[in-house]
Amino acid sequence: MGRQCITEVGLWLPSLRPGVEEWQQMLSSLGQLYVQGVKVDWLALDREYSREKVALPTYPFQRQRYWVESSEGSDKTTTKHPSATASSPITELLDRGDYQQLTAMLSEKESLTAVEVVQQLIHLHQKAVAQTALRDCLYHIEWQIKPLDVASEKPSQDGQWLIIGGEVTVTQKLAEQLEQKQQSCRFVKELPQDYSELLQLVQQETELPLVGIVYLNCEEVTSHEEVLSQTETTCQSLLELLQALLQDESSNPTKVWVVTAGAVALGEHPISVAQTPLWGMGKVVSLEHPELWGGLIDLEPSKDVESQMEYLITELLNPDADDQIVYRREERYVPRLVPSSPSTSKTFKAEPTGSYLITGGLGSLGLKVANWLVQQGARHLILLSRRGLTEETEAAVAALQEAGNKVSVMSADVAEITDMERVWKQIQAEEKPLKGIIHAAGVGRLDTLEELTPEVWEAVLRPKVKGGWNLHQLSSSENLDFFVCFSSIASVWGSAGQAHYAAGNQFLDGLMHYRSSLGLPGLAINWGPWAGGGMVTAEAEEWLAQTGLETLSPELAISALEYLMSADQVQVTVSQNDWSHFKAMYALKRPRPLLDLITVAAERVEAKTEQAPNLQQRLEVVAETQRSELLRQILQEEVALVLDLPITSRPNPEVGFFDMGMDSLMAVELQKRMSKLLGVNLSSTLTFDLPNIEKLEKYIIDQHLVGFFKPETDEDQQEESFLETNLLAEIEQSSDQELEGSIDQILESIID
Ligand SMILES: NC(=O)c1ccc[n+]([C@@H]2O[C@H](COP(=O)([O-])OP(=O)(O)OC[C@H]3O[C@@H](n4cnc5c(N)ncnc54)[C@H](OP(=O)(O)O)[C@@H]3O)[C@@H](O)[C@H]2O)c1
């Protein structure tokens, strides 16, 4: 109202405003006055108000960006369709306008409609492009000889060991040998009923910390019932042990070692399939709880365990970075993932006179495979699922039938032997012999080890373990051309929250090796996530992309299947990874030598530039004695930025990063920021090895800024306080003009 009445006056300064604190408003108006050149009596303003110290960035480089990032390459959630970037023989012919070659590539059918021509061209182009892209998606595990380095044998920590499972003679001998190495030992003859009680008992008996638990399962079983019962009991019991340890409050984390004999397909001896799920499970424990994890050791199955005690003891007392170890023919092997290019003998063709069974055939991948099999010449498909046809799958099956194929939908539980015996009778009653099986039935779930219940465990394992085993048993008399299991990357490098799924898939991997050793066809494909529905939801796709796991386009995945059907390999991983990101994520909590041979183009660490000075340049701005304070502040700001906290907040240097709410994606971000700051590629286990700001700071000072810090001495402190006192006295005695002059001088020196 004042403004409306007195229009000629230049500046209105409000003292009150709705929603703004009175004092804040007064200060803001005072600031405006000062900016207008009005002389302010600052000393009069300054009284004994209560004050709050606020941390401000003290140097000009650490600016936050508020620009919208360029969209180029930032959309990590969408699957890169290979054809978006690649050419194919079709595009080359189109470019050249070579219609004669193009028509020669089309179907031999005499009169194709325009739509059919376009469809065929698209199909041929996508197939050619996917085949080219395949090169970067195929991997397998190579077992490499790596002797254990015991030259630097450190005196093992005095502690107690608990040995569970295995034959009494074995456990006794292991206990004796551990005791010879000054370890205290206790063993239990049968798998315990109550692990919490056992742990309590063991810890009450002696003051020595429980440093390790050896969980033995070296027994080889082959009969139908024994395979299924051993698979179930050993995994469930290990799960109970892990859950009891996770609930145990003693501060000393115990390392769990799982020892098998023949759980890995290496050497001439057939794999012991019932032991395999322990390996899948172990890979997930290592990801979810590295602090609890010792490792997996697979002994020579053709020798008795007692004769291999020396290896076992050496591994237990001298662990290195490898947590998957296999002994064969006196050699120590470790796994390394390597790119794969299996040779193919012939191109795959299905037989119109045979029939093909797809378990999980009405699922997302099952139906895609059914369509592909028809394209390869199959005419009779058996699609199996528990629910049978549903509204969503009816149309897809009808389309296959309308194209002249016989599609039998069977409602059966692949894990129920009685259901499957019924299915087998029906298959055998048909005129067309069974020529191939695609086992794609599965249940996907995410449950951490703490959350897992025996029921959930069983629900996820049964289609894989009982289902796979039933199919193997029932088909043993059929003359199959192929038996393909849809396994997962979860059993290759683990997957947090999927101990059950990894265990089930590892069984299928093992089963295919077992079949191969019997001369039967078998192929396990460890699929990475597929795009376009099924077990991988859009939400999961987004999350996976953030971890460096890209989804496979169905065209690419189907090309991989087609290629692998005629390849000479029993187990292949098909996965599209952004390895630089995935490796960093994967090795966040402990080194992961499994991926050592996967090369990643070295990340460009930004060179020193004027806009982004490196850490040393930033520290050089201040006096030597103030550098450690500035370093701490810089680290606190880096951590605050990663945690998305205001830059002025100062995270407590002693609190662990993960306790502050840092997740694995943030930890990778911090590692990248630190690498950039120091101008070196830091290990991806950075936040695990140096779990708080204090430790990170010490590491940087000791390793990267040697001689850069002058420790503050008592004299420095005295001089500092003397200078401070003098400065205050000088300020008090100076006139306003003198002070203004000094401030101007300081500001000019900073700008210069
Ligand atoms: N999708 C991926 O990205 C991906 C990646 C790696 C591996 N895999 C593997 O590929 C396979 C297929 O995956 P998907 O994405 O197509 O999954 P999906 O869409 O969920 O299909 C799985 C099918 O399995 C059937 N099934 C489950 N338990 C069964 C049982 N006991 N007996 C008979 N049928 C059973 C289900 O039908 P009912 O409920 O009617 O029985 C369902 O239709 C799975 O084995 C999975 O582990 C998939």
- Over residues 221-234, the pLDDT tens digits come to 888 889 998 898 89
For residues 26 and 20, the model is more confident at 26
Question: Per-residue pLDDT for 493 more than 50?
Answer: yes
Side-chain-facing half-sphere of 289: CA atoms under 13 Å? 22
Which residue, 358, 349, 379, 356, is CA-closest to 434? 356
- Write down the pLDDT at residue 694: 94
Q: 670 pLDDT exceeds 60?
A: yes
Alpha-carbon span 189 to 179, nearest angstrom: 18
Q: What is the pLDDT of residues 390-399, one digit of tens each?
A: 999 999 999 9
Q: How many whole angstroms from its chain centre is CA 314? A: 30
pLDDT band at 610 (very low <50, low <70, confident <90, very high): very low
How sure is the predictor about 506, in pLDDT bands with cuts at 50, 70 and 90? very high
Q: Among 386, 469, 564, which residue has the most ligand 1 atoms within 8 Å of its CB, making it the best to mutate?
A: 386
**Integer Cα distance of 514 and 263 in angstroms:** 10
Q: Which has the minimum average pLDDT: 401-410, 562-571, 606-615, 641-650? A: 606-615
Note the pLDDT of residue 138.
96
Of 81-95, 107-121, 303-317, the one with minimum mean pLDDT is 81-95
Q: Which atom of ligand 1 is nearest to the CA of 442?
A: 45
φ, ψ (nearest 5 deg) of residue 467: -60, -50
Tell me what the pLDDT averaged over the chain comes to: 86
Poorest-pLDDT segment among 259-268, 294-303, 523-532, 662-671: 662-671
pLDDT of residue 288 exceeding 90, the answer is yes
- Cβ neighbors of 715 (< 8 A, separation 6 or more) are none
Any ligand 1 atom below 6 A from CB of 82: no
Pocket test for ligand 1, best of 391, 486, 487 (most atoms within 8 A of CB): 486
Tell me the C-alpha to C-alpha distance, in Å, between residue 467 and each of 366, 463, 516, 520.
15, 4, 18, 18
- How many A from CA of 497 to the centre of ligand 1? 18
What tokens does 669 get?
């971000």
Residue 664 tokens read as 């694995």
The structural domains of the chain, with segments of one domain joined by +, span 2-45, 107-131+341-595, 145-338, 615-703, 714-751
For the Cβ of 408 lying below 6 angstroms from any atom of ligand 1, the answer is no
Cβ–ligand 1 distance for 463 under 6 Å, the answer yes
How many residues would you count in the chain? 752
When pLDDT is averaged across residues 725-743 and rounded to a whole number, the result is: 77
User: Would you state the structure tokens that stand for residue 185, as one six-digit string?
Assistant: 């030992």
pLDDT score for 496: 93
Answer yes or no: is the C-beta of 554 below 6 A from any ligand 1 atom: no
Q: b/e per residue, 409-442, with b = 16+ CB within 10 A?
A: bbebbbbbbebbeebbeebeeeebebbbbbbbbb
The hierarchical CATH code for the domain 615-703 is 1.10.1200.10
Largest interatomic CA distance in the chain: 110
Q: Is the CB of 365 under 6 A from ligand 1?
A: yes
pLDDT surpassing 80 at residue 527: yes
Query: Quick check: CB of 335 below 6 Å from ligand 1?
Result: no
Cα separation, 486 vs 528, in Å, equals 10
Distance of CA 16 from the midpoint of ligand 1 (Å): 66
- CATH fold of the domain at 145-338: Rossmann fold (3.40.50)
Residue 76 has a pLDDT of: 36
Residue 247 CA to ligand 1 centre (angstroms): 33
pLDDT of residue 720: 64
Instruction: Say which CATH architecture domain 107-131+341-595 belongs to.
Output: 3-Layer(aba) Sandwich (3.40)
- DSSP bridge partners of 438: 358, 484
| Topology match between the domains 145-338 and 615-703 | no
Q: Please give the Cα distance from 238 to 292 (Å, whole number).
A: 13
| pLDDT band (50, 70, 90) for residue 490 | very high
Distance between CA atoms of residues 499 and 487, nearest Å: 14
Q: Assess whether pLDDT exceeds 70 at residue 253.
A: yes
Q: What distance in angstroms lies between residue 535's CA and the mean position of ligand 1's atoms?
A: 7
Asked if residue 413 has its Cβ within 6 Å of ligand 1, the reply is yes
Long-range contacts of 396-400 (CB under 8 A, 24+ apart): 396/367, 397/362, 400/370, 400/371, 400/374
For the CA of 387, the closest atom of ligand 1 is 40
Token pair of 285 as six digits: 């424990």
Residue 153 binned pLDDT confidence (cut-offs 50, 70, 90): low
Predicted pLDDT at 401: 96
Q: CB of 280 closer than 6 A to ligand 1? A: no
Ligand 1 atom at minimum distance from 416 CA: 31
Q: How far apart are CA 414 and CA 384, in angstroms?
A: 8
Q: C-alpha distances in angstroms, 82 versus 134, 135, 555, 577, 582?
A: 10, 12, 9, 14, 20
The protein residue with its alpha carbon nearest to ligand 1, atom 34, reads 385
